[in-house]
Amino acid sequence: MLDALTAGALEDAARRRESLPTDRLEAMALQSRTPLDAVTILATPKPDSAGPHIIAEVKRASPSKGALADIPEPAVLAAAYQAGGASAISVLTEERRFLGSLDDLRAVRAEVTIPVLRKDFIADEYQLLEARAFGADIVLLIVASLAPARLVELHRFATSLGLSVLVEVHDEREIDAALDAEARILGVNTRDLKTFTMHPERFAELRARIPAGTVAVAESGVRSVADVARYRQDGADAVLVGEALVTDGDPRSRVAEFGRAS
């Protein structure tokens, strides 16, 4: 599944490149606003709560669950997240299985003042230029989908653009690869993207391998305040939440509840 998602994302990027060549995209990227320093924001404890930073996700669908929510105006949802105290917004831009787009990213960026993450299956510099040009402050790199040397190259290119990088892992070997790439934000996905099975205990098992000074993000498996509190007690600096927010009738209040969990 992960290989198919990455291959599809690269095919879609190649199609976009036909109408927007790399040189034009690079000019757009370098003329865009300076990205926010998401590393510092997520590494700084919240002044008003002992809870974790919440990265709230705009997510219409997933390969494991299918359609989750109709989100005709992602900017409106993102604004509600920010009003509820979210520290960052994650925007799914993958088109085929998550039903996202770069237009979603651009709309959210225009609406909120907190960092915005482009969440996609990134394996090419062109996609990183797109992220900068369309307003992202953070990009996702998934260790399981990249050779170690390629991870280093893409991480270095992203940071040269001023982007922060959330490097996603699922096991000890992948943490070592992330740290070799000098990751400063490290996300432990408790869902195995090769099989899409859940391992809720995985964050706690791996937390000790994340060094001080590196932002530790817990991803997946959040359904309740208790789930967020467990991740916080296990040492999460931030928790990324998608499905539990987009399927809730009051995302602003839900984000606030999650942000107070400790």
Question: Which residues are tagged catalytic?
Answer: 57, 59, 119, 168, 189, 219-220
Residue 83 burial class via C-beta count within 10 angstroms: exposed 0-12, middle 13-18, buried 19 and up: middle
C-alpha count within 13 angstroms, C-beta hemisphere, residue 39: 14
What DSSP line would sit under 61-85, residue for residue? EETTTEE----S-HHHHHHHHHHTT
Q: Provide the angle, in degrees to the nearest 10, between the axes of the packed helices 74-83 and 251-260.
A: 40
Triad 221, 226, 232: Cα angle to 5°: 80
**Closest to 93 measured CA to CA, from 66, 117, 76:** 117
Q: Which residues contact 231 (CB under 8 A, 6 or more apart)?
A: 52, 203, 218, 222, 239
User: What b/e readout covers 31-55, taking b as 16+ CB neighbours within 10 angstroms?
Assistant: ebeebbebbebbbeebeeeebbbbb
Paired with 90 in beta bridges are: 57, 117
